[in-house]
Amino acid sequence: MNAATSAIPLPFDHAEAHAHLSRADKRLAALIERVGEFQFKLDECESVYESLLEAIMHQSIAGKAARAIFARIQALGSNGNCPTPEELLRVSTRTLRKVGLSRAKVAAVRDLAQKTIEGVVPTLAQAEKMTDQELVERLISVRGIGAWTVEMFLIFRLGRPDVLPIHDYGVQKGWAITYRKKSIPKPKDLLKFGERWRPYRTVASWYMWRAVQLAGKDARKITKAKPARKRAVAAKGVAVKPRTIRKRAV
């Protein structure tokens, strides 16, 4: 991160993060040298509620379309501001569907609004005092919010330095590219490998995303590993037959 890229004060020194990661990992050191300084603009949403509301818009939708839908959601609030939880709960299902939300997302944003009113979703001031794990446990209770969404909030809104989103496909693929692997790692293997990056796993993750960008079309060559049984059969040149599924007696 670079303080010049955001009006929000950053909680750690990016120069120290570069130095630490470069000492700990030669391959990452080379990537850092190639990409340059770690920097991105932090999300400046004024509340946890608003940040998660925007995150829900981006789930399973291309960025441009998600931004358009979120802009229409924002227009539902008073004075051009994002609707408060109370205002959002008063918006009809028909209107929410009309602005582009699926039925699942209608249920998700309503649950987010209700849990914000109830205090389950913390204020920004409260969130800043909570640990990463406390926030994950609290926020995944909201319908439609999973660990990955909370991790993105921790990285892009709170600027937490040591978050490793092990299920993020971009981070997985960037790791495979950086360490010259033919397939993406399993989340548990990425978690184990990432121990060397502590306490700056956020910074390392950012460089994994950059590795994918640098690879361009070549990044498509990195795929998920085949199951062990398929690998063994393929090596022998034998077609893989689907396993018989036996119905369990009721």
Domain count, the chain: 2
Tens of pLDDT along 207-218? 999 999 999 988
Amino acid identity, position 209: W
* 138 shares its domain with 203: no
Q: Which of 25, 168, 189, 218 is catalytic?
A: 168
Q: What is the mean pLDDT of residues 59-67?
A: 86
* 152 shares its domain with 168: no
pLDDT at 239 over 70: no
In this prediction, what percent of the chain has a pLDDT beyond 90?
A: 71
Query: What's the CA gap between 87 and 110, in Å, rounded?
Result: 10
Domain with residue 203: its CATH number is 1.10.1670.40
Tens of pLDDT along 105-122? 999 999 999 999 999 999
* In a domain? residue 95: yes
* 102 shares its domain with 191: no
Are the CB atoms for 107 and 144 separated by under 8 Å? yes
- Rounded to 10°, the helix 48-57/147-156 angle is 120
Query: What's the CA gap between 72 and 81, in Å, rounded?
Result: 11
Domain with residue 99: its CATH number is 1.10.340.30
Confidence of residue 242 (pLDDT cuts 50, 70, 90): very low
Take residue 169 and report the two structure tokens written for it.
Answer: 């496909």
- What domain range includes position 169? 3-41+162-221
* In a domain? residue 150: yes
* In a domain? residue 249: no
Confidence of residue 124 (pLDDT cuts 50, 70, 90): very high
* 23 shares its domain with 62: no
The answer to whether 168 is a known catalytic residue is yes
* 35 shares its domain with 63: no
Query: What's the CA gap between 199 and 95, in Å, rounded?
Result: 45
| pTM of the complete model | 0.81
* In a domain? residue 7: yes
